[in-house]
Amino acid sequence: MNLRQDRSPNETDIRALYDALLEAYGPQNWWPGDGPFEVIVGAILTQNTSWTNVEKALEALKSAGLWSIGALHETPLDRLAGTIRSSGYYNQKARKLKTFAELVEAEYAGNLARFLALPLVDLRPELLAVWGIGEETADDIVLYAAGHASFVIDGYTRRIVDRLGWRVDGEAYGDYQALFSDRLPADARLFNEYHALIVRHAADVCRPTPVCEGCVLLATCPTGVERIRR
Ligand code: SF4
């Protein structure tokens, strides 16, 4: 249930949400991956599946010796797809991995560090031009692999923002992103922690059916107040 109050949050509201989640859950120490290559592969594989399934696919890639840009580039598509089967949508995801690897091979001599050293203004469009990489995946990579301040928006973020009754100037990814980016300093560490905390809160408490009783945001959440009242 969404009881939007059409109240535009100010900087204090955005900061208060972060502070409340950080106090409740502590630092999340994301990304749950080891180094930029693993972050990128994980960001592509995690679309529409659980992280547990992603971890199985990551291990399978390592075991098969497909753990480099060069290996992703050279391995036949069907073999790559079979290796990441546990992640779901494996044919599409294999194609995304190969298309990304082809970009790095062709334009950056296979040097991932050189690619990630691009400034934010160039890196994000480069990623969005890769077949199958959308804004959320691009920002996962920009933020967690390259360390640039680009706020990640996912379904969890939209759910919490909507339930808090915060007005958003549209439904697009960029509309939700601006809600945070326009009210926070461009600080990659802050954006990193903030997104991780949102995911934690949405997974543990503000679930599809929220557990509002005892929620740290209850006092400022019209959806939660209404649910408790009923
Ligand atoms: S009170 Fe908490 S759990 Fe309930 S809808 Fe609001 S944010 Fe979600």
Give residue 196 CA to ligand 1 midpoint distance, Å.
17
Give residue 166 CA to ligand 1 midpoint distance, Å.
13
108 and 188 assigned to the same domain: no
**Where residue 16 sits, what CATH number does that domain have?**
1.10.1670.10
Give residue 191's domain range. 11-29+152-229
Q: What is the per-residue pLDDT for 5? A: 56
Per-position DSSP letters for 67-123, written without gaps between them = -SHHHHHHS-HHHHHHHTGGGSSHHHHHHHHHHHHHHHHHHHTT-HHHHHTS-HHHH
Where among 113, 144, 175 does a domain terminate? 144
20 and 52 assigned to the same domain: no
Query: Hey, is 7 helix, strand or coil?
Result: strand
Residues 78, 96: Cα–Cα separation, whole Å: 13
Atom of ligand 1 nearest to the CA of 163: 5
41 and 87 assigned to the same domain: yes
Q: What is the pTM for the complete model shown?
A: 0.93
Q: How far is CA 47 from CA 6, 37, 52, 72, 222, in A?
A: 30, 17, 12, 18, 30
Ligand 1 pocket: which of 4, 18, 212 to mutate (most atoms within 8 A of CB): 212
Q: What is the per-residue pLDDT for 23? A: 98
130 and 224 assigned to the same domain: no
Provide block-wise average pLDDT over 10 residues at a time, the chain (230 residues). Answer: 67 97 95 86 93 95 97 97 97 97 97 98 97 96 97 97 96 97 97 97 97 97 95
Decide: 40 and 141 in contact? Cβ < 8 Å: yes
Residue 1: inside a domain = no
Helix or strand holding residue 155 (H, E): helix 155-163
93 and 118 assigned to the same domain: yes
User: Domain tally for the chain?
Assistant: 2
Give residue 177 CA to ligand 1 midpoint distance, Å.
20
Atom of ligand 1 nearest to the CA of 205: 3
Give residue 107 CA to ligand 1 midpoint distance, Å.
46
Q: What is the per-residue pLDDT for 227? A: 96
Residue 3: inside a domain = no
Where among 104, 121, 144 does a domain terminate? 144
Residue 174: inside a domain = yes
Residues 117, 146: Cα–Cα separation, whole Å: 7
Residue 99: inside a domain = yes
Residues 94, 41: Cα–Cα separation, whole Å: 10
Q: What is the per-residue pLDDT for 3? A: 46
From the list 94, 96, 135, 142, the residue with the least C-alpha distance to 116 is 142
Atom of ligand 1 nearest to the CA of 218: 1
Residue 118: inside a domain = yes
Give residue 25 CA to ligand 1 midpoint distance, Å.
15
Atom of ligand 1 nearest to the CA of 212: 4
134 and 214 assigned to the same domain: no
103 and 44 assigned to the same domain: yes
Atom of ligand 1 nearest to the CA of 211: 3
* Ligand 1 pocket list (CB less than 6 A): 160, 163, 205-206, 210-212, 215, 217-218, 221, 223-224
Ligand 1 pocket: which of 18, 160, 226, 230 to mutate (most atoms within 8 A of CB): 160
Give residue 160 CA to ligand 1 midpoint distance, Å.
7
165 and 211 assigned to the same domain: yes
192 and 225 assigned to the same domain: yes
Residue 116: inside a domain = yes
Residue 5: inside a domain = no
Atom of ligand 1 nearest to the CA of 224: 1
129 and 43 assigned to the same domain: yes
Residue 208: inside a domain = yes
**Where residue 122 sits, what CATH number does that domain have?**
1.10.340.30
Q: What is the per-residue pLDDT for 30? A: 87
Q: What is the per-residue pLDDT for 75? A: 97
Where among 124, 144, 164 does a domain terminate? 144
105 and 125 assigned to the same domain: yes
124 and 196 assigned to the same domain: no
